Structure 1
Amino acid sequence: MDILHEESGWELPQYIIDNLKHIPRSYQSEAIRYFHYTQTSETFKHRNPNQLMFNMATGSGKTDLMAGLILYLFKEKGYQNFLFTVNTNGVLSKTIDNLVNVQSDKFLFNSHIEIDGVRISINHISGNFPDFPNKHDINIKFLSIQTLTNELFTQAENVMSLKDYQREKMVILADEAHHYSASTKKKSKEELEKASWEKSLLSLLHTHTDNLLLEFTATLDFDDETIYEKYRDKIIYRYALDSYIKDGFSKNVRRIQTGNSNEENMLSVILLSEYRRKFALETFGIDIKPIILFKSQKIDASHEANRLFNEMIDNLTVETLREFLTSQSKSVPDEQSHTLQLAYQYYLEQDDLLTVVKEIRRGFSPTRILNANDTDNSSKGLLETGQYQALNSLESPSNLYRVIFAVAKLTEGWDVLNLYDIVRISSLGKMTDKKDTKSTNSEAQLIGRGARYNPFPLNQKISYQRRFDEEDETASLLLETLHYHTLNEPQYIKNLMASLDKMNLATGTDGKNPPIEIKLKPSFKKTRIYKTGKVYYNETEKIPDSHYKQLHNYGIEISKIATIPYFKSTYETGYLTAESIELKTSQLREIDIRYFKKSISRSNFFRFSNLKKYLPNLKSIEDFLGENWLDLQNLVLSVITEKETIVEDFSAIKKLKIVDNFFNLLSSKIKAGYRKERGTNRFIGYSISEYLADYPKRVPNYDTAKHSNSFIEQNVSNISFEKFDFFAYQSAIINRNKENLVNAIANHVDELKEKYGDVFLIRMDENMLKGTNKIEQLKLHQFEKNPRELTFSGFQPDFILLLQNKDYYLQIFIEPKGEQLVEKDRWKEELLSYINDHQEELIFEDEVDGVIIKGLKFYNKENSEQTLNQLAQIALEKSQFWGNIRMNLF
């Protein structure tokens, strides 16, 4: 395009980047660049582009974009007066915090704004814009569209009339702009109101020849002829929801559709929410607070649901919980909801359901519930009911709310990142109008808002895009997926899917799809390796109770788990790069021993009778706190916080929370470490023909937004490898990283075949032997003498490369590993390296000659070349493959 060529050298000015709290994402920078073209390019000279629309997905940062545009228009075009308007008080108040309240955590500018060496002030204007403004001031006035309309067309004192707005040029920032356009042929009260709002904005626009009207919305109905004609030449930038999801800036979205009652759905989602929290803490050492939203159609129904919820929590006992788990694990199978099955099985395996019940009663008590409905059914807003601050600070550790009950107030303008479950409360009546999608349109918008990504610290880094692909199943489902729970009402589901399609919001059912049969190639079954070959894994041995004499014997390094992530709030809008977030680790030396004793006294796990099950040599609780075990007198906790956090100012509640997190993590480590088995250096060969088999596996599925131009690409898919004669299976369900590994080996297979007559790569999928005892035999276990991190659970490397000639039978373990999991699974790579470096220690069950077991470093985007070079060194005794040209496989 000529316009792009004409302005191709323009980049986002540094003063915008320097003065915004969040580094703009690529699409936000592009939106400002396109706006710059409209204001400077000859192409737009005669189009008078004074009314423009930014069609941006929910959660994509429209307000951050506004902040950038304000700086641009102030510096480049001399605008000092800005009027922000929207149709709800909640969004209005939130935006005041965003744009002018420097004390707010959600303020989007840096605390000190400086352009060309001059300090710039941003002022909140409550009356008239100043007649003689300071040239270094940016003035922003905030009015709801209702108030603005009344003031413009009703004579009153101390308000700005149309005549007052004529004095200086101004920029109007109109948010949720889809409310300002009346539809074709409709004369309802709502449409007449929209028409009056539209008239107000256009009247303001025309009060000065240099005025600008910039509109922002995530929702535009292009099927409506009037809407289409109005905006077809005004949309300057569009970043739709499907692109937002595809680019990884959102959670995945899954629908859980069951035949459960409302009460059963309530208890299921509580268990799932707690499982999310525990999984994050026990697996990654991070403390998240998952929020549940119960959505009703009517206020009375919402209050009734709130009452039933409280009643259910009050009546929950160990017996009713166990009965519920047993029943639900059968009535809601994997095919209906895999995530719920994970939660049910987690709790069914717990020895102490009494602690679970107590935690649920405490975590979901009435004081942890926020009802966002007006109790008197009036038109009062959230501000009048005093709930605005609580609703917009749900990510904060000091905000204890876990559950929200609401009808329609939260569909727009609600900023929450840690919303993981939306539960539709079903009304008794059926949906009778098959074409009525008004309510499902609203719910689809709410799902889109709830899908905003919740950044969390991992390996002391923050990411604002999804880290786990869907092959890292549990982590993806629990930490990066929003679940929408509903009853399985066919007509409602049909309407909801139509609404999701209309929004281009890619979702899928949470149930597992019909399995795909992964088959061994007939040609592989005819080979010598298949018929007579073996795969080798090391044997385990029983660990006597006498071994467990201190926490180190459980693989626990107190110094590691005594460092607890604790952030003042989730990174609410999340446009910072991981490198730009400054974190620090600080010691908490002032925590009194009473905090530890109080925390431990509240935990059933640390009762002596229970602790003795896992610490067989423990003599008493005092012994546990003493120098032989916890050494509480010398224990120092540390916290990972934002750089500006002053840990010395932590309240007693915060300190106790940190201690609770430490003991929660310690309990999970103790349970994981008491395995009673450990690896040895004795390797056993398992017959390939007996252990390798065909197996079923499922691919994640999306069934809405299929026709979107940016339909979400599957991170995990069924890849055919028929063309590769060295690959043992016809296909494999794998992610991109694993596919890249197979392709990389394919590039060098001819060179390998020059030395080895038989070259075969085998995908060792855990589904292959699922449900049999054999699955545990095909695992590697630590057998190092003094591993850096002791881990008793085994693992199955994803691939085995078998190379055979007349002299050698070489088995190489290969483990592709995404960067986000490298640190967590470092012990696996260290075990593979130990095998390489201690060949003389390996003992084989059978008297075999020429068998060599080796392992490679993790394979991923960052070190693919190093891993391939290591393969060349092991297999060919050379520094690299002769054809090892660096390829852009990623």
Structure 2
Amino acid sequence: MQNQQFLYQKLNTLSEMGALKKDIPLYINSNLNPNFEIRDYQKEAFARFSYYLNDFPNKKIPIHLLFNMATGSGKTFIMASLILELYEKGYRNFLFFVNSTNIIEKTKDNFVNNNSSKYLFNQKISFDNKQINIKEVDNFTTSHTDDINIKFTTIQGLHMDLTFPKENGLTYEDFKDNKIVILSDEAHHINSTTKKSKLNKTEELQKSSWEQTVMNILKSHKDNLLLEFTATVDLQNENIAEKYLDKIIYKYDLKQFRLDGYSKEVDILKADMEQDDRILQAIILSQYRLKVAEKNRIYCKPVILFKAQKTIAESQTNLENFNQLIKNLKVEDLEKIQNTTNEKVLLKVFNFFEENNLSLQDITNELKQDFAEENCISANDDKQAEKNQILLNTLEEKNNRIRAIFAVQKLNEGWDVLNLFDIVRLYDSRSNVIDKKTGKVKVGPQTMSEAQLIGRGARYFPFTTDKAIGESKYKRKFDKKDDEELKILETFYYHTSFDNLYITEIKQALKDTGMMDEEEKKDFTIKLKDSFKKSNFYKNGYIYTNKRKEKDNQEVSSLEEVGMKIERFEFTLHTGKSGAVQVFESSENPSGEKIEKEPKSFQIKDIDIRIIKKAIQQNDFYKFDNLKKYIGKLKSIEDFITNYRYLSSKRIDLYSSKDVLENLSNDDLLKAVSSLLKSMENEIKQQETKYEGTTMFDAKSIQEMFKEKTIKVSSYEDYTKNQDWFVFDKITATSEEKYLVELFEKKIQELNDKYEDIYLIRNERHFAIYSFEDGDRFEPDFVLFMKEKQTKKPLTYQIFIEPKGSQFKDAEGLFGNSKEAWKEKFLSGIDEKAEIIDSNFGNYKLIGLPLYNKDLESDFEEAFDDRFGK
């Protein structure tokens, strides 16, 4: 095992080399819920599956794969995309099973209830212009041949159905003649016996039942697939590692999920106070979060989970005590917290209330109303399990009133909630597990379970705001803006007592699960040098930035401007010939006849316009009103057909036998034109962008844009230069950033001969610019200012510079085919495209330089010298 690579490691290498196709096919993209953004790591997961299914050498048949992906990463969304891909490949029957009935009900909602806010598919699902449906079925013997048929069950229920068949239930007969896709969520449960080298009788029975049942189904047809999904795979266990060596297709853990910005950040709020005061502190913080959201026109109803340790009775007592606390709440209770706290976030809360004219009496009244008994729920109540389950699975919706949840263990798995921001630990005990080797306290099972619950609660709450235009609604936006009030919507708090030993233990558990960095984040303050603040440039200078706007297609006058690249299209016409083949005949052409196909080329303008019009009428995409959304200058359908800028210039290379090509019918040409139009439709939709960056850049005061700020960093090394051109007293810098500054230092003397007011400014989220093509947000690491000397109208150059590490390069060691290529393209176009809105502030010229990398330093330096001289 030591020298063997896991499947995901092999695919990591292929992905880094650019060998995996990351574009999601239109038949998937158009059939998923358009309200959900497909994230980069989800595209990666799909690309790996598609590559394995179609191109991976020596793949095991039947296919058995595992997606080891973090809680909250959208595993069911990936399942939905794989269902669509496999439908395209001819699969119609899908068996979904999991360990918990609770997860079954939630998944049904996601897959088949198109009225649910979490429904994963588009309202209309179609393949080749034919609408299909998603149906829940009891078995596959009478499944619908054109639809997606899904059987939902638990692993226990699946085993019982197959062991003890019942009328209309699932039986082994369902699998004999039907190829099946098996989807297993929380799949670690079926490995509970695999991880053990020795099993007791009960475990032997379980292994032979649950695991064997699944494997029997998988092996019942060579084309079956078993796709497992879980956040938990114990690869330290040799049995598990051996089983999944060639099956883990993607490993995307919680740590990477958090580092990529897709989760809330986690903070521990320890308090040396009575339990009631700890509860009160949590609801005050929750109400502050609500008020910040309201102020910024964001709908967010934050929820708190109050966690009991062991028993339902204990949780029920917590709920009753809470209800009494809220009923008797007085403004003096809030004043007590205000007057005694020294916690930074609580001080910020009370300052916010005061600055926004929210009296403590107002807040008290709101708390009594918002956290009233009818707005609290017990997740332990089996008597109202169905009703409560609906409330627990729809917590983000506006008609859901719940603000507080009381629970013991029932929400530890399968719970999908985005607006949980606080967990309050209503007990003070800890597990105190001693490591036999070291004799030190280590993370116990209770604490690890708590850390896993925190990981579930740390799912990101998606929102958009004018303060972060162009950034994804699904990712953190304010990591480096600790003074931004909206950061509270990106932070999860775990409230516990002031027990240093427990704090150490829970922090270690959070590090082990990936929810905290190994090194804790520290404050890092950057300050402007006094010499810079006294300069004329600081007092009177400007920086020019552009904005993001919705794309206006009113001026689009060609298919090329829409992103359409198809000029020639190949289409094959079948000849209709057939022949009998003798089984034992040995020949390269056993039928005795070879069909030679040759091309015949047509330009659209040479085809009868009536045929083209008929093909257009058969495709709703080409209705005039719809085409105008993409091509604002389009005059009519006639214009679209006859204008060389649209359809007229396209060519079709038609392949078939000579006799067919010599006797082409109108129906043959109609098929070819229809196929061309469908390909054009797919490309236009895939190239469509909804936003663009303005070419107009407007001025903002240097004094207003660049200020001192404190940022949170995991680890840092102070980096500074004593020269005045380095405007901050110190910065944190990667090796590439340091190399860039060192290069600039070598050039400063010769630059001083031609320029003045030379300043290199680090951009710590002080400003952003937006790509011209699709409005993607970009925050260059540096901006360099230089003003010409000895000219009547001196020109100030504003130069955007972005260093990039070698890990971002493409397979050829460049950036041209990497995911950073768009930045280099954007920077290279700034010189030509950027226009200054207001030149009253002086003459400015905006320039973007190629991405800087130490290995490519000569290319960067050449571009710099070509522009500014040696």
TM-score, normalised to structure 2, is 0.62
The question of 1:302 aligning with 2:315 is answered: yes
Counterpart of 2:196 in structure 1: which amino acid?
T
Matched, 1:406 2:418: no
Task: Select which of 448, 451, 458 maps to 2:458.
Answer: 451
CA distance in 2, matches of 1:39, 1:156: 35
Alignment of 1:31 onto 2:45? yes
Is 1:346 the counterpart of 2:352? The answer is yes
Residues in 2 aligned to 1:862 and 1:302: alpha-carbon distance in whole angstroms: 61
Q: How do 1:478-627 residues align onto structure 2 when only pairs under 5 Å count?
A: 478-507=488-517, 513=522
The answer on 1:226 being equivalent to 2:227 is: no
Q: Which residue of 1 aligns with 2:114?
A: 102
Which residues of 2 match residues 374-393 of structure 1 at below 5 A?
Answer: 374=381, 380=382, 384-393=385-394
Q: C-alpha displacement at 1:732, in angstroms?
A: 3.8
CA drift of 1:530 comes to 8.8
C-alpha spacing 1:104/1:37, structure 2 compared with 1 (3 Å): same
* Displacement after TM superposition at 1:465 (Å): 1.8
Please point out which of 65, 80, 86 is paired with 1:73: 86
Shift in Å, 1:356: 1.2
User: What corresponds to 2:147 in structure 1?
Assistant: 137
Distance 1:16 1:317, change over 3 A: same
1 CA distance for matches of 2:77 and 2:213? 25
Matched, 1:118 2:130: yes
The answer on 1:325 being equivalent to 2:332 is no
- Equivalent residues of 1:466, 1:480 under 8 A apart: yes
Residues in 1 aligned to 2:56 and 2:740: alpha-carbon distance in whole angstroms: 50
Matched with 1:363 is 370
The Cα of 1:314 is off from its aligned counterpart by 1.9
Whole-Å Cα distance in 2 between the matches of residues 59 and 414 of structure 1?
Answer: 10
Cα separation, 2, equivalents of 1:417 and 1:366: 22
Contact 2:180 2:224 in 1 (8 A): yes
SS of match in other structure, 2:406? strand
Cα 1:189–1:448 shift into 2, 3 Å: farther
SS at match of 2:133: strand
CA contact (8 A) 2:524 2:712 kept: no
Q: Return 197-206 or 864-873, whichever deviates more.
A: 864-873
Contact 2:412 2:452 in 1 (8 A): yes
User: Shift of the alpha carbon at 1:805?
Assistant: 10
Residues 201-255 of structure 1 deviation map (CA, whole Å, 9 limit, x = unaligned): 1222223333221100111111122211111111112222222222222222222
Q: Which amino acid aligns with 1:404?
A: I
Please give the per-residue CA displacement for 1:732-762, whole angstroms capped at 9, x wherever unaligned: 46999x9999999989977884477675679
| Structure 2 unpaired stretches of 5+ | 1-9, 435-440, 541-700, 765-781, 801-825, 854-870
Query: Residue by residue, what CA displacement relative to the aligned partner does 1:503-532 show, whole Å, maximum 9, x if unpaired?
Result: 22235899x846669695xxx87xxx8999
Aligned-residue offset at 1:104: 2.3
* 1:18 paired residue number: 30
741-750 vs 352-361, which moves further? 741-750
| 1:412-442 deviations in Å (ceiling 9; x for gaps) | 2111111111222224577465345222222
- Deviation for aligned residue 1:863: 11
Question: Cα–Cα, structure 1 residues 10 and 468, in superposed 2: closer, same or farther, change >3 Å?
Answer: closer
Query: What residue is the counterpart of 1:587 in the other structure?
Result: none
Q: Provide closer, same or farther for how the CA distance between residues 390 and 348 of structure 1 changes in structure 2, counting only shifts above 3 A.
A: same
Residue 20 to residue 807, structure 1, CA distance change in 2 (3 Å): closer
User: Is this contact kept in 2: 1:471–1:735, CA < 8 A?
Assistant: no
**Which residue number corresponds to residue 440 of structure 1?**
447
Residues 477, 300 of structure 1: alpha-carbon distance in 2 compared, 3 angstrom cutoff: farther
Secondary structure (helix, strand or coil) at the match of 2:57 reads helix
State the match for 1:880 in structure 2. Answer: 845
Q: Which amino acid aligns with 1:401?
A: I
Change (3 A) 1:243 1:430: closer
Q: Secondary structure at the match of 1:114?
A: strand
Distance in 2 between residues matched to 1:189 and 1:373, nearest whole Å? 32
Aligned mates of 2:19, 2:788 — CA distance in 1: 60
In 2, Cα distance between the equivalents of 1:862 and 1:273?
46
In structure 2, give the amino acid aligned to 1:340: L
Cα gap change, 1:129/1:383 in structure 2, threshold over 3 Å: closer, same or farther? farther
- In structure 2, the CA distance between the partners of 1:740 and 1:323, relative to structure 1 (3 Å rule), is farther
Residue among 103, 111, 121 paired with 1:91: 103
The question of whether the paired residues in 1 share the 8 Å contact of 2:133 and 2:147 is answered with yes
Partner of 2:729: 730
The Cα shift of 1:306 comes to 1.7
The match for 1:271 is: 284
Q: Per the alignment, in what secondary structure is the counterpart of residue 52 of structure 1?
A: strand
Distance 1:401 1:815 in 2: 51
- Aligned residue type for 1:480: E
Alignment partner, residue 180 of structure 1: 190
Per the normalisation by structure 1, the TM-score is 0.61
Residues 169, 210 of structure 1: 8 Å contact kept: yes
Contact 1:184–1:225 at 8 Å: present in 2 too?
no
- Aligned-partner Cα distance in 1 for 2:302–2:53: 44
Contact 2:376–2:404 (CA under 8 A) maintained in structure 1? yes
Change (3 A) 1:191 1:24: farther
Aligned to 1:652: none
| AA aligned opposite 2:49 | F
Distance, in Å, in 1 between the alignment partners of 2:61 and 2:535 is 79
Distance of aligned partners of 1:515 and 1:6 in 2 relative to their CA distance in 1, 3 Å threshold = closer
Q: Distance in 2 between matches of 1:509 and 1:404?
A: 32
Cα distance, 1:32 vs. partner? Answer: 2.4
RMSD: 4.8
Query: Which residue of structure 1 aligns with residue 588 of structure 2?
Result: none
Aligned equivalent of 1:624: none
Alpha-carbon shift at residue 138 of structure 1 (Å): 1.6
Question: Are the counterparts in 1 of residues 431 and 446 from structure 2 also a CA contact under 8 Å?
Answer: no
State whether residues 368 and 401 of structure 1, in contact with CA within 8 Å, keep that contact through their aligned partners in structure 2: yes
How many angstroms apart in 2 are the aligned matches of 1:348 and 1:866?
49
Pair 751,410 (structure 1): closer, same or farther in 2 beyond 3 Å: farther
Question: Structure 2 vs 1, CA of residues 208 and 274 (structure 1 numbering), >3 Å: closer, same or farther?
Answer: same
Alpha-carbon shift at residue 162 of structure 1 (Å)? 3.0
For residues 57 and 764 of structure 1, the distance between their equivalents in structure 2, rounded to whole angstroms, comes to 32
Match of 1:422 in 2: 423
Deviations 1:696-755 (A, max 9, x none): x754255xxxxxxxxxxx8xx67623175422543046999x999999998997788447
Contact 2:481–2:487 (Cα < 8 Å) also in 1:
no
How do residues 690-729 of structure 1 correspond to structure 2 at under 5 angstroms? 699-702=711-714, 720-722=719-721, 724-729=723-728
Distance 1:290 1:48 in 2: 47
The code of the aligned residue for 2:514 comes to N
Shift of the 248–366 alpha-carbon distance from structure 1 to 2, 3 Å rule, reads same
- Contact 1:513-1:698 at 8 Å conserved across structures: no
Amino acid at match of 1:458: T
User: Distance in 1 between the 2:452 and 2:787 partners?
Assistant: 55
Superposed displacement of residue 880, structure 1:
2.6
Q: Is contact 1:7–1:37 with CA below 8 Å preserved after alignment? A: no
Compute the displacement of 1:404 (Å).
Answer: 1.1
Look up the equivalent residue of 1:384 and give its one-letter code: A
